[in-house]
Amino acid sequence: MKLGIVSDTHGLLRPETVEALKGVDHILHMGDVGSPAVLRALEEIAPVTAVRGNVDKTGECGRLPEFEVYLAEGHYLYMLHDLKTLHLDPAAGKFAAVLYGHSHVPNYHTKNGVLYFNPGSCGPRRFELPVTVGLLAVKKSGELKPEIVYLPIAQ
């Protein structure tokens, strides 16, 4: 299973993001969606599961859940916007991964057998940070293969 992992669109869905997500089985949005139009456009690519970010205060985006658990190939993935709001031990909860956003900084690492994956931001550029999306291959064996895709954005 191939998942598209996005965060911090802030109401902007770039054509480069759409291109990078072609062929994924499901898209997981880690919050700061900014506009329900972004979710509708993503749904044209693949089914979408999204959580609420700190800018998603009203309307359809304001009604998104604060966190979500997504089951991929028998493995639980914990979704939230800001890692600082994580109030459980993912290893004890048997989660394979914690997916988050908020910082706009793409990175991933493993701690206590749990993958922590921030796809960065694919919305408006913040400071000099790159514009990125994540891809996550989930194997039935439990192997997770994260990838950060740097989008070719001029400015």
* Six-digit token string for 60: 């359809």
The torsion angles phi and psi of 15, rounded to 5 degrees, stand at -60, -30
Residue ranges of domains in the chain, CATH in brackets: 2-150 (3.60.21.10)
Task: Please write the tens of the pLDDT for every residue from 86-137.
Answer: 999 999 999 999 999 999 999 999 999 999 999 999 999 988 899 999 999 9
- Based on its alpha-carbon atoms, the radius of gyration of the chain, rounded to whole angstroms, reads 14
Number of other residues whose CB lies within 10 A of the CB of residue 60: 13
- Which candidate, 2, 65, 71, 69, places its Cα nearest to that of 33? 65
pTM for the structure as a whole: 0.96
Closest by CA to 70, choosing from 96, 34, 88, 109, is 96
pLDDT at res. 128: 87
